[in-house]
Amino acid sequence: LSVETSLIDALRRNEFQLHYQPQMSADGTRVVAVEALIRWRRADGSMVSPADFIPVAEECGMILPIGEWVLRQALKTLHGWRCKGLRDIRMAVNLSVLQLRDVGLPALLKRLLAEFDIPPEALELEVTESMAMSDPEKTIAILHDLRALGVSLSIDDFGTGYSSLAYLKLFPIDRLKLDRTFVRDIEADSADADICTATVVMAHSLKLQLVAEGVETCAQFDFLRKLGCDLLQGYYFHRPLSAAAVETLLLSQQAQI
């Protein structure tokens, strides 16, 4: 059986799930956003990593229906939280390059935002640096169309692709997500620490927020907090969680105010 067939079956049998990883405020105390991350739990209980099946889904075209499922599920979850009074949370969703280039994307987003009564700014779309830079002129036009809907935009895995700063400054985006490979060795590798520092300065001079990814230790958190990172994401704070676990977290956070 081809993987394509099993991806079609997986969608039909509801084998995909979303987990949500919190993004913390600069001081590390509050959850201000979550990133939706897809999981495939097969009928036999085994888990398949998106790193393995997303590239296959991109090749066989299944990424469009899967990507639509992700957007719908993420907004449905957000709607559920908002109905419980948890209205200050942003939902970030990863886009594949085929979704980004799909002419139907703005209409799909508009429809889903209306269906779940979500203010557009509560949705953030993550586009990787390599996707964005593979055809930057086209990306600028598409990002402007998405921006016109009012959604937030971020560049994911920043620092790992071939970036053109000339184009970066033309992208109508809200934030950069510094790739976790730079965060990982902050303590051991002074070049990586310097890259983190320079990227925060650059992001801020472009009026962008900087999200540090892959924060795993207190020392990394301290370093990044002192740099003035705007948002922090990583296992040190939270792993990707179920919707129910995030809800509990948000409710307890709200009770503290």
**What does the alpha-carbon distance between residue 47 and residue 237 come to, in Å, rounded to a whole number?**
23
Which residue's CB is nearer to ligand G, number 54 or number 142? 54
By the rule CB under 5 A, 94 interacts with Mn ion = yes
Query: Among Na ion, ligand G, Mn ion, none, what binds residue 49 when CB lies within 5 to 8 Å by partner kind?
Result: ligand G
Q: How many residues bind Mn ion (CB under 5 A)?
A: 3
CB 95 within 8 A of CB 67: yes
Contact pick of 23, 94, 154, 199 for ligand G (by CB under 6 A): 94
Which residue's CB is nearer to ligand G, number 6 or number 96? 96
CB 151 within 8 A of CB 106: no
The residue range among 21-29, 93-101, 132-140, 188-196 that interacts with Mn ion, by the rule CB under 5 A, is: 93-101
CB 9 within 8 A of CB 43: no
The residue range among 77-85, 89-97, 181-189, 240-248 that interacts with Mn ion, by the rule CB under 5 A, is: 89-97
Tokens of 191: 């070049």
Contact pick of 102, 129, 174, 213 for ligand G (by CB under 6 A): 213
Contact set with ligand G (CB under 6 A): 21, 37-38, 49-51, 54, 70, 94, 96, 156-157, 180, 213-216, 234-235, 240
Contact set with Na ion (CB under 5 A): 156-157
